């Protein structure tokens, strides 16, 4: 018969760790009550494992140095002078009261104001988007700025690469910023070397290394997808630089995205977001390109940009969604591939349905993340009981992230609801 003897110092140390971690969780600024309670259970039930897990993913750690540098970049790039549009028509418009509420939330989150005179072109055809992006790159005379979370060295990636190399050969400044995790295979590929040899400046966002693992969370990524050419044409939406077949997860294909091409004053705001991200990684000052004024489109619409992420220290997406849901009178259509929202967003959707708004939630029938799929399904019953209509997209992985309110206001984003 064996008797296990536990060192009293281990017991004392474990208890001390529980107390310290409980205090860290409780005092963590910005923790939602239900999130804090869940972490409390983890760190008290399994102290050592729980403490490690919390330090790895429990806090939105972005690194003090990066936060300070980003604050400096914001003060230099995202300043009032750079938001000035010399064509006074960009601010001569009248928003509906409901639209004004959404615009105010977005403006408070990322300092960008609504602007008139934007011509938008929307597409859910992946190859069509790649073709038109390449056409815009081929028309560029000054610069091409491309940012993508995922860049694959597939046919789409090759097509865009060739367009960038052609542009660089004409003397156009071509800058490509890709995420260190989402595009890890591309960053090691022969295609990257070929692009750099062809004059394309390729930069890695949020480089992965052991030091960054210690000081910040590796799952905090640059998830944006955007293109700006000559400061006059812009693209954004959910599509990465990849074929719809998406080779790494082909069994879920095709990926179905939503992208928007923009011509008009809003392009300057997209340019500003790219410059901030580029400066963050390369320390190259591109402030001069903000002197370019995109043309006002007389047949255009009012549009507004907003940037999100841990370096902005805001919950712009959830705040915007909740505002959109609250102002809806007739209908809300929300599409997202990963539906695991916070409690406030869930409640807003349920309340909207109960007050008679037609709430449609569109998600993929098959999801590439088992955990997200299970988490999403656990939320469906309550939403259905409240009157929310849930539609499962059958023809591939619906990757679009959009909201349409009363068929008069739309939000197109690259951000997920998870």
Q: Which residues are catalytic?
A: 223, 225, 230, 399, 401, 406
| CA nearest neighbour of 335 among 221, 263, 413 | 413
Per-residue tokens: 324: 């959109």
Give CA–CA dist 97/101, Å, rounded.
6
Angle in degrees, 0-180, between the axes of helices 316-327 and 97-110, rounded to the nearest 10? 170
Q: How many CB atoms lie within 10 A of CB 221?
A: 17
Cis peptide, bond prior to residue 205, ω within 30 of zero:
no
Give CA–CA dist 311/60, Å, rounded.
9
Alpha carbon separation from 67 to 71, 111, 214, 313 (Å, rounded): 6, 18, 15, 9
- Residues 6 or more apart whose CB falls under 8 angstroms from that of 196 comprise 202
With tokens 């409390």, the residue in question is: 40
With tokens 């939602």, the residue in question is: 32
CA 185 to chain centre: 21
| Adjacent-strand bridge partners of 303 | 115
Give CA–CA dist 374/353, Å, rounded.
23
The 3-class SS string of 105-147 reads HHHHHHCCCCEEEEEEEEECCHHHHHHHHHHHHHHCCCEEEEE
302 and 265 in contact (C-beta within 8 Å)? Answer: no
């Amino acid at each position: 018969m064996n008797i296990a003897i536990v060192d009293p110092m281990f017991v004392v140390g474990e208890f001390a760790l529980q107390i310290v971690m409980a205090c860290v969780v409780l005092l963590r600024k910005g923790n939602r009550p239900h999130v804090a309670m869940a972490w409390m259970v983890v760190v008290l039930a399994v102290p050592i494992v729980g403490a490690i897990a919390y330090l790895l993913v429990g806090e939105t750690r972005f690194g003090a140095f990066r936060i300070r540098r980003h604050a400096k970049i914001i003060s230099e790039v995202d300043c009032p002078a750079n938001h000035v549009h010399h064509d006074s028509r960009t601010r001569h418009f009248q928003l509906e009261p409901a639209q004004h509420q959404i615009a105010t939330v977005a403006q408070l989150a990322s300092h960008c104001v609504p602007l008139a005179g934007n011509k938008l072109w929307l597409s859910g055809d992946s190859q069509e988007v790649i073709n038109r992006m390449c056409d815009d790159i081929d028309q560029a005379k000054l610069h091409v700025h491309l940012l993508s979370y995922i860049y694959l060295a597939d046919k789409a990636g090759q097509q865009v690469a060739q367009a960038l190399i052609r542009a660089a050969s004409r003397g156009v400044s071509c800058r490509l910023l890709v995420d260190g995790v989402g595009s890890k295979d591309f960053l090691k590929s022969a295609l990257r070397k070929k692009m750099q040899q062809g004059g394309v400046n390729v930069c890695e966002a949020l480089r992965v290394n052991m030091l960054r693992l210690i000081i910040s969370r590796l799952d905090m990524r640059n998830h944006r997808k955007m293109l700006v050419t000559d400061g006059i044409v812009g693209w954004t939406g959910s599509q990465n630089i990849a074929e719809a077949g998406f080779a790494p997860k082909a069994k879920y294909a095709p990926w179905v995205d939503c992208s928007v091409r923009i011509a008009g004053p809003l392009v300057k705001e997209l340019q500003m977001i790219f410059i901030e991200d580029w400066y963050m990684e390369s320390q190259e000052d591109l402030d001069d390109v903000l002197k370019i004024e995109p043309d006002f489109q007389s047949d255009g619409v009012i549009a507004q940009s907003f940037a999100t992420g841990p370096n902005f220290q805001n919950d712009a997406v959830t705040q915007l969604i909740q505002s959109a849901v609250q102002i809806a009178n007739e209908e809300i259509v929300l599409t997202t591939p990963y539906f695991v929202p916070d409690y406030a967003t869930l409640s807003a959707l349920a309340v909207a349905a109960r007050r008679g708004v037609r709430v449609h939630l569109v998600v993929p029938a098959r999801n590439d993340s088992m955990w997200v799929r299970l988490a999403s399904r656990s939320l469906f019953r309550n939403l259905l009981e409240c009157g929310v209509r849930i539609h499962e997209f059958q023809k591939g992985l619906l990757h679009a992230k959009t909201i349409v309110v009363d068929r008069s206001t739309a939000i197109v984003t690259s951000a997920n609801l998870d």
